[in-house]
Amino acid sequence: MTQIRIEPLSAEAFAPFGQVIEMAGAHHYPINAGMTERYHDLARVELAGVHARPLISIFRGQPYALPLPLKLVERHPLGSQAFYPLGQSPWLVIVAEDDAGQPVRLRAFQPSPGQGVNIAINTWHGVLTPLEVAADFLVVDRGGDGINLEEHHFDAPWMISA
């Protein structure tokens, strides 16, 4: 069983897989007569395929425990997928590089409170993985025609630990 150590989420470390969604360091400016601060253009929503349209949903994920045996990853060939937590509970983002259609070099990141991610189009990733308690996430992804889900089941699970 291959081990994956959890690492803190940073924009630089996550860049090969998408973008970190956070207010820190983001371009921002006042709107609404100065009563609101707009943190602008935090992620690149990618849509491909026939009749593509963005979807905004709320996912409620049940908690996982560590160490976590990872048995599958998935990817979306027709759109990016953004996750932003609606609370402060801990969660993981699991991603992998692609080698000729196979997920390789898996990494697990733990976002800090106030961080979300936008997983780039066609990027291997684990399922929504809250830790400790059930958690809600605002999700922006793709709707429209076409098959936008590919799953890969591992012959032996990867073990994710702190």
Q: Is 3-161 assigned to CATH 2.60.40.420?
A: no
Query: Token pair of 84, please?
Result: 């932003």
pLDDT of residue 106: 98
- Write down the domain spans for the chain: 3-161
Query: What pLDDT shows up at residue 1?
Result: 72
Tens digits of pLDDT across the chain (162 residues): 799 999 999 999 999 999 999 999 999 999 999 999 999 999 999 999 999 999 999 999 999 999 999 999 999 999 999 999 999 999 999 999 999 999 999 999 999 999 999 999 999 999 999 999 999 999 999 999 999 999 999 999 999 998
For 55, other C-beta atoms within 10 Å of its C-beta total 13
* pTM assigned to the model: 0.95
